Amino acid sequence: MLLRHTTAEPKVEREALTINPSKTCQPIGAMYAALGVHRCMPHSHGSQGCCSYHRSALTRHYKEPVVAGSSSFTEGSSVFGGQANLLEAITNLFSIYHADVVAVHTTCLSETIGDDVPQIVAKAIAEGRIPAGKHVIHASTPSYAGSHITGYASMVKSMVTSFAKRTDKRLNQVNLIPGFVEPSDMAELRRIANALGAKTVMFPDTSGVLNAPQTGKYEMYPKGGATVAEMVSAGDSLGSLALGPLAAGSAARHLEVQCKVPAQVLELPIGLRATDAFVDALRNLSGTVVPEGLMEERGQVMDFITDMHQYFHGKTAALAGDPDQLLPLAQFLRDIDIEVKYAVTGTPAPKWAKQMAAICGPKAKIKEGGGADLFQLHQWIKQEKVDLIFGGTYCKYIARDEDIPLLRYGFPIYDRVGHQYFPNVGYRGALRTLERILNALLDRQDRDAAEEGFELVM
């Protein structure tokens, strides 16, 4: 047993101790979002361990280069402030690494000592440290608030406040603001929009950055990422679709206030209904017609469900991960008659918990924020088992101890690949998810069946 000290019944009511978290800290979300800007260098204003840990975590998840700078605070900078370090870093990032955009996010260290990043950036401009046509943007992401999801949201919001401009002319384009999803998901969103014939601007966009091809030639700034020009033009778009209220909502709402671009906050298009809602909203906003091809994809999802429904019906699942992903996933599981018994997210999300309860029913155990960790989830599972676990790689310790199949879902996935290439969003993503669920269940049935009950056709 790996988690041999986890017992079904709690030995104590926990109020202060987190064990095996289902979230991490804000800066990594900001770093990930910044990688979705073309020729952008994320920069961590803190001690260098933060940057090292975040780069390592993202690299393990994507199996791709993840570059980012650090202010490399020492004890001295922690006492006297990090201004000198950030100014020096800005100079170096532009002159050595030739970034077009440097996206600075803060850490618990720089926030606790009260470094004023906008003031330091103003000083950098005044001192001529930022070459003409280049930009430094900033997000406040202290690790002691929110989670990686709010850190992501904060950096995406900063893209709006730093770049989006309202001019006289309205552009026939729609802003797509994806939540914390994979590069494959972002590419799929664009493919769906293209299929609809909708012109879009998407930011951030990590496709082509964190799933870049191996060519034998390293590109520090791969082809992907939203350009500054695109983000500037977002202020003239017909409307914004924020996909995922917690990770993308804030950017869309700021854009509405700042540039009067109407915001619609949708769920991430995971599963049938949420994808329907996304396609419908995009169709209406862009004034286009849903093409035959997309209808075919939807029909295939429906076909899969109706063909194989017997294997889904009545199965039970436990979910751990990010709120924006878990809500539409839970809805999808309910739609195919899988019962969601437990769900945890370490991200503070009280509204999400209510919505989840409405979707999953009164018997489901749902927990968010403090205490909503994998230790809690494991205790619930020990009290009453489930058939499937959905979550990141850290869930594999529970999965192995309890002999329950794990469907790797969300962040982080350190031990498998595929997430960077194959989407979870859209009808294609729904089809992939259905296939993965079915295979997990049927593999289990094949493994456990009595010899006489071992089925050839399923």
Instruction: Provide the minimum distance between the beta carbon of 346 and another protein in the complex, in angstroms, as a whole number.
Output: 7
Specify the long-range contacts of residues 396-404, CB closer than 8 Å, at least 24 apart. 397/2, 397/3, 398/3, 398/374, 400/2, 401/1, 401/2, 401/3, 401/4, 401/6, 402/378, 404/318
Q: Which CB sits closer to another protein, 98 or 309? A: 98
When computed from its CA atoms, the radius of gyration of the chain, rounded to whole angstroms, is: 23
Instruction: Provide the minimum distance between the beta carbon of 247 and another protein in the complex, in angstroms, as a whole number.
Output: 17
Q: Which CB sits closer to another protein, 225 or 346? A: 346
Instruction: Provide the minimum distance between the beta carbon of 318 and another protein in the complex, in angstroms, as a whole number.
Output: 18
Q: Is-contact 103 44, C-beta < 8 A?
A: no
Q: Which CB sits closer to another protein, 278 or 375? A: 375
Start-to-end CA distance of the chain, whole Å, equals 33
Paired residues of 240 in beta bridges: 175, 263
Residues 6+ apart with CB under 8 A from 357: 364, 366
Q: Which CB sits closer to another protein, 73 or 163? A: 73
Q: Which CB sits closer to another protein, 110 or 331? A: 110
Instruction: Provide the minimum distance between the beta carbon of 441 and another protein in the complex, in angstroms, as a whole number.
Output: 26
What is the phi/psi pair of residue 67, to 5°?
-100, 145
Q: Six-digit token pair at 179?
A: 């939540």
Instruction: Provide the minimum distance between the beta carbon of 270 and another protein in the complex, in angstroms, as a whole number.
Output: 24
Instruction: Provide the minimum distance between the beta carbon of 19 and another protein in the complex, in angstroms, as a whole number.
Output: 6
Q: Which CB sits closer to another protein, 71 or 286? A: 71
Q: Which CB sits closer to another protein, 129 or 298? A: 129
Instruction: Provide the minimum distance between the beta carbon of 103 and another protein in the complex, in angstroms, as a whole number.
Output: 13
Burial of 140 (0-12, 13-18, 19+ CB in 10 A): buried
In the numeric block, the tokens 């309205």 are attached to 170
Beta strands in 305-408 (DSSP E): 316-320, 339-345, 365-368, 388-391, 406-408
